[in-house]
């Protein structure tokens, strides 16, 4: 709380002059601060933050909705493409199965096969009916046009024991138990016409470059050959080049930039070509040699990281786990995964798979996760970009706000240096406190001396402005001659808050006792009566001062009158039964000066009333009579405890001499711990004081004589000094105010 005592004294340390510095910079600061005052007050920088929060929430909701919709759409697309691919593959396989069955059971082919089997059967005589070689040549001649018309690259014929009895490759004739053929032959001997998964050829065949070699990818279409009794007597196997039709069917499933469809067998081996042969060569998955193809050369296993980004696994390819889709597919199940898993390249993909038991192979449809969710990623990055822009905007506006606030403070200081506040010209600084500064000045037109109190530009905030305005509004309601008068209130274009009040050239009671010692009883009574008049008006309006103390009471010469009392500093005044006003001084806070604070003000600050002020009046009277506070202690805690439960020493005993019994009784009644035992109003207190034996003994002549004798020795001062009061035998004469702002 501000202490107004030094307002009425001149402190040489404060007598410095402020020379006006009228510069272009100062004018610019004034203009900038004036134009941005509203901007600062509204705190515009908060709105981009609010917008960012709302946008983030909206973005999360939209992103979730889009992600859900996109997942449903991707799942449907993958399953649809997988269905189309498997349908095309099944149609193609059925066509070849039909062709093979038709060829194997044509009359001419069957007759040649029967003849060949008969020729190779163990003979009962040493001569055979027919020559097997001649029969094979005839069979080759019969099958030639059929093979050519359906793009078959050869054939072989086995008997029931799976011994090859005829083939376009003579090296195969007579061979039996070739592992690559066993599965297909077994199914044919069971009566199925089927097609095998691709496998590496065991005989020399022309590859894509025309070079003869083994290991060329081939497929077999096998059909059983039956006799007249519909018994299976042989198996006809027709060779297919996978790259001619099978692989092309798989390649039709390529979509987007990374979508691909491929086939795999029971061992997890890719049996069609990959879309990314060049990439997997660079990743070390496919051998780097001329004509290298992924078909039959890529194990569909998870390397554990992105090989295209330089990752190299620590274990061999055969020891790595199968990819999620392949691992599920080879068990015979079908499924779809739209959350993502690593494929054979180590890249996160989405996939759908289906196992085709009739052909002992599976079909996989995959697309890179990044591409699949690219629209969602774009949406997320868009939101993030907007959030970033809003964050940058908020920061920029906040920094601009700080800069403008600094400019405003500089402009306010420049105004003070220019010594002009509206109609008031500033002359000198006469006091400063926790929140405000007081200057002596004069009105430009009226030319009368004025005390101008303004908010400290470095401590301005909404709370301080409200309390500052409230102090003015409350004090303006008081018209008693013993209450300091307020002339004006305003705010400059630069935002400097101030109010003007009467300038008092007198002495406060704290300084009076410190300088001249205990005062005569009659003068004390006269002073207290005037204080009662000021407080009675305030109490009648429902206001409690809450900080009555010697430093807030001044003796002055006003006009032709001497010893005129002025009660100052209504900044802590409390509006009784007004919760809003109480809140401005921080509900539950300890406000006042401990040396003059009533017990209830210490124990429950919000319960103070007019009788709390009267306790302080009694303490002031005690101080004026004795030259000492009512209680003195080494610590603040002990001092407060003494106000609560200690009995004061009677003034006469403190002085060592007798005083007016009525006056002493009145002073001690004011210092009662229970409010009900004190005078109940300032008017009642005045009546008690008037009954004192010394009432009326302090005459006008005595007052004039005192002022004439001591005027020259009094330090001039003003009505609104805010420096802390000087303690008398104690360090607890300062005002305590605890606000939320600290």
Residue 603, classed as helix, strand or coil, is: helix
pLDDT band per the 50, 70, 90 thresholds, residue 207: confident
Q: How many CA atoms lie within 13 A of 674 on its CB side?
A: 2
Give helix 107-120 / helix 46-104 axis angle, nearest 10°: 70
pLDDT computed for residue 31 by the predictor: 44
The secondary structure of residue 674, as a DSSP letter, is S
pLDDT computed for residue 414 by the predictor: 66
pLDDT band per the 50, 70, 90 thresholds, residue 598: very high
Percent of the chain with pLDDT over 90: 48
Mean pLDDT score, 120-141: 76
Give helix 682-690 / helix 661-670 axis angle, nearest 10°: 160
* 8 Å CB contact between 551 and 5: yes
In tens, the pLDDT along 674-725 reads 999 999 999 999 999 998 877 778 888 888 888 888 765 554 443 333 333 3
Q: Is the pLDDT of residue 411 over 80?
A: no
Exposed, middle or buried: residue 37 (CB in 10 Å: 0-12, 13-18, 19+)? middle
Residue 732, classed as helix, strand or coil, is: coil
Give the Cα separation of 136 and 633 in Å (integer): 132
The H helix count followed by the E strand count for the chain is 21, 25
Give the Cα separation of 505 and 511 in Å (integer): 13
H/E run at residue 66 = helix 46-104
In tens, the pLDDT along 446-487 reads 778 888 887 766 666 666 677 767 767 777 788 899 998 888
* 8 Å CB contact between 401 and 44: yes
In tens, the pLDDT along 20-75 reads 333 334 444 444 444 444 444 555 557 666 777 787 787 778 778 878 888 899 99
Give the Cα separation of 292 and 295 in Å (integer): 9
Residue 43, classed as helix, strand or coil, is: coil
Write the DSSP string, 297-365.
T-B-B--SS-GGGT---SS-GGGSPBPHHHHHHTTT--EEEEEEEE-TTS-EEEEEEEEETTTTEEEEE
CATH architecture of 139-240: 2-Layer Sandwich (3.30)
Q: Is the pLDDT of residue 738 over 80?
A: no
pLDDT computed for residue 458 by the predictor: 63
In tens, the pLDDT along 265-276 reads 999 999 999 999
Q: Is the pLDDT of residue 409 over 80?
A: no
pTM for the complete prediction? 0.54
CATH architecture of 507-737: Orthogonal Bundle (1.10)
Give the Cα separation of 115 and 129 in Å (integer): 9
pLDDT computed for residue 96 by the predictor: 94
- Residue 43: which region, alpha, beta or left (left: phi > 0; alpha: psi -120 to 50)? left
Tokens 């929140």 found at? 435
pLDDT computed for residue 19 by the predictor: 36
Choose the weakest-confidence range: 79-93, 363-377, 393-407, 669-683.
393-407
Give the Cα separation of 430 and 437 in Å (integer): 8
pLDDT computed for residue 737 by the predictor: 43
Distance from CA of residue 737 to its chain's centroid? 36
pLDDT computed for residue 673 by the predictor: 92
pLDDT computed for residue 61 by the predictor: 80
Q: What is the largest CA-CA distance in the chain?
A: 174
Distance from CA of residue 110 to its chain's centroid? 82
Q: 139-240 with 253-371: one CATH topology?
A: yes
CA distances from 484 to 325, 497, 502 (A): 91, 19, 7
Tokens 């996939």 found at? 351
* 8 Å CB contact between 198 and 246: yes
Q: Which of these, 5, 11, 2, lies nearest to 725 by C-alpha position?
A: 5
pLDDT computed for residue 44 by the predictor: 59
Give the Cα separation of 223 and 312 in Å (integer): 45
Give the Cα separation of 524 and 506 in Å (integer): 17
Q: Which of these, 590, 626, 619, lies nearest to 735 by C-alpha position?
A: 590
Give the Cα separation of 79 and 624 in Å (integer): 100
Q: Is the pLDDT of residue 416 over 90?
A: no
Mean pLDDT score, 654-672: 92
Mean pLDDT score, 230-243: 93
pLDDT computed for residue 101 by the predictor: 94
Provide the token pair at 421.
């506040």
Q: Is the pLDDT of residue 2 over 50?
A: no
Radius of gyration over every alpha carbon of the chain, rounded to an integer in angstroms: 54
- Which class is 253-371 in CATH? alpha beta
Q: Which of these, 559, 453, 561, lies nearest to 499 by C-alpha position?
A: 453
Residue 581, classed as helix, strand or coil, is: helix
Residue 274, classed as helix, strand or coil, is: coil
Provide the token pair at 553.
């009471």
pLDDT band per the 50, 70, 90 thresholds, residue 503: confident
Q: Tell me how many degrees the CA angle 664-669-672 measures, rounded to the nearest 5.
A: 130
* 8 Å CB contact between 668 and 647: no
Choose the weakest-confidence range: 33-37, 231-235, 518-522, 524-528.
33-37
Mean pLDDT score, 254-266: 94
Q: Which of these, 473, 481, 474, 479, lies nearest to 531 by C-alpha position?
A: 481
**Which range is most confident: 101-110, 121-130, 557-566?**
101-110
Choose the weakest-confidence range: 72-81, 374-383, 416-425.
416-425
- What is the C-alpha end-to-end distance of the chain, expressed in Å? 11
In tens, the pLDDT along 153-191 reads 999 999 999 999 999 999 899 999 999 999 999 999 999
Percent of the chain with pLDDT over 70: 81
Q: Can you give the residue ranges of every domain in the chain? A: 5-41+409-502, 139-240, 253-371, 507-737
CATH architecture of 5-41+409-502: 2-Layer Sandwich (3.30)
pLDDT computed for residue 419 by the predictor: 65
Distance from CA of residue 128 to its chain's centroid? 96
């Amino acid at each position: 709380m501000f202490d107004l005592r030094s307002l009425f004294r001149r402190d040489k340390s404060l007598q410095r002059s402020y020379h006006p510095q009228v510069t272009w910079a100062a004018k610019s600061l004034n203009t900038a601060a004036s134009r941005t005052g509203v901007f600062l007050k509204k705190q515009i920088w908060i709105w981009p933050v609010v917008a960012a929060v709302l946008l983030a929430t909206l973005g999360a909701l939209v992103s979730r909705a889009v992600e859900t919709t996109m997942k449903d759409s991707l799942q449907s697309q993958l399953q649809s493409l997988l269905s189309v691919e498997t349908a095309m593959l099944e149609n193609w396989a059925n066509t070849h199965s039909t062709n093979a069955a038709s060829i194997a059971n044509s009359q001419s082919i069957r007759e040649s096969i029967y003849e060949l089997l008969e020729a190779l059967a163990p003979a009962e005589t040493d001569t055979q009916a027919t020559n097997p070689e001649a029969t094979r040549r005839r069979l080759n001649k019969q099958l030639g046009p059929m093979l050519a018309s359906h793009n078959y690259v050869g054939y072989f014929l086995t008997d029931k024991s799976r011994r090859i009895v005829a083939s376009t490759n003579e090296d195969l004739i007579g061979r039996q138990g070739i592992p690559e053929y066993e599965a297909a032959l077994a199914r044919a001997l069971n009566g199925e016409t089927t097609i095998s998964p691709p496998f590496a050829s065991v005989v020399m065949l022309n590859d894509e470059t025309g070079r003869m070699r083994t290991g060329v990818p081939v497929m077999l279409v096998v059909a059983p050959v039956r006799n007249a009794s519909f018994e299976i007597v042989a198996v006809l196997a027709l060779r297919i080049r996978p790259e001619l039709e099978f692989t092309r069917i798989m390649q039709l499933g390529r979509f987007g930039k990374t979508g691909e469809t491929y086939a795999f067998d029971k061992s997890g081996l890719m049996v069609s070509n990959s879309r990314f042969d060049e990439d997997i060569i660079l990743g070390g998955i496919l051998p780097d040699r001329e004509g290298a193809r992924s078909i039959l050369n890529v194990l569909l296993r998870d390397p554990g990281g992105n090989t295209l980004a330089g990752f190299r696994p620590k274990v061999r390819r055969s020891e790595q786990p199968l990819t999620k889709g392949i691992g599920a597919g080879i068990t015979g199940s079908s499924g779809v995964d739209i959350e993502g898993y690593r494929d054979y390249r180590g890249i996160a993909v989405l996939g759908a798979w289906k196992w085709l038991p009739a052909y002992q192979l599976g079909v996989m449809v995959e697309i890179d996760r990044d591409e699949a969710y690219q629209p969602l990623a774009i949406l997320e990055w868009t939101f993030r970009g907007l959030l970033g822009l809003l964050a940058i905007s908020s920061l920029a506006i906040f920094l601009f706000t700080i800069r403008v606030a600094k400019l405003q403070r500089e402009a306010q200081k420049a105004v003070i240096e220019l010594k002009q506040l509206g109609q008031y010209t500033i002359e000198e600084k006469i006091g400063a406190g926790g929140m405000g500064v007081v200057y002596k000045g004069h009105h430009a037109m009226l030319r009368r001396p004025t005390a101008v109190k303004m908010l400290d530009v470095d401590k301005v905030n909404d709370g301080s402005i409200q309390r500052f305005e409230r102090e003015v509004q409350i004090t303006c309601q008081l018209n008693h001659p013993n209450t300091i008068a307020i002339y004006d209130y305003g705010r400059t274009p630069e935002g400097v808050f101030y109010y003007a009040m009467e300038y008092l050239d007198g002495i406060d009671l704290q300084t009076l006792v410190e300088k001249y010692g205990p005062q005569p009883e009659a003068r004390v009574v006269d002073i207290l009566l005037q204080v009662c008049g000021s407080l009675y008006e305030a109490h009648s309006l429902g206001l409690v001062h809450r900080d009555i103390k010697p430093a807030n009471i001044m003796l002055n010469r006003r006009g032709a009158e001497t010893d005129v009392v002025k009660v100052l500093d209504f900044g802590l005044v409390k509006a009784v039964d007004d919760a809003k006003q109480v809140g401005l001084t921080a509900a539950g806070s300890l406000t006042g000066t401990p040396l003059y604070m009533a017990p209830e003000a210490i124990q429950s600050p919000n319960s103070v009333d007019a009788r709390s002020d009267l306790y302080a009046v009694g303490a002031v009277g005690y101080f004026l009579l004795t030259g000492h506070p009512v209680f003195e202690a080494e610590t603040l805690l002990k001092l407060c405890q003494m106000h609560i439960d200690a009995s004061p020493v009677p003034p006469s005993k403190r002085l060592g001499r007798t005083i007016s019994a009525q006056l002493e009784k009145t002073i001690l009644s004011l210092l009662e711990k229970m409010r009900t035992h004190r005078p109940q109003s300032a008017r009642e207190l005045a009546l008690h004081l008037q009954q004192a034996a010394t009432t009326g003994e302090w005459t006008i002549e005595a007052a004039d004589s005192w002022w004439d004798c001591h005027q020259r020795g009094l330090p001039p001062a003003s009505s609104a000094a805010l420096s802390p009061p000087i303690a008398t035998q104690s360090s607890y004469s300062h005002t305590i105010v605890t606000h939320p702002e600290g």
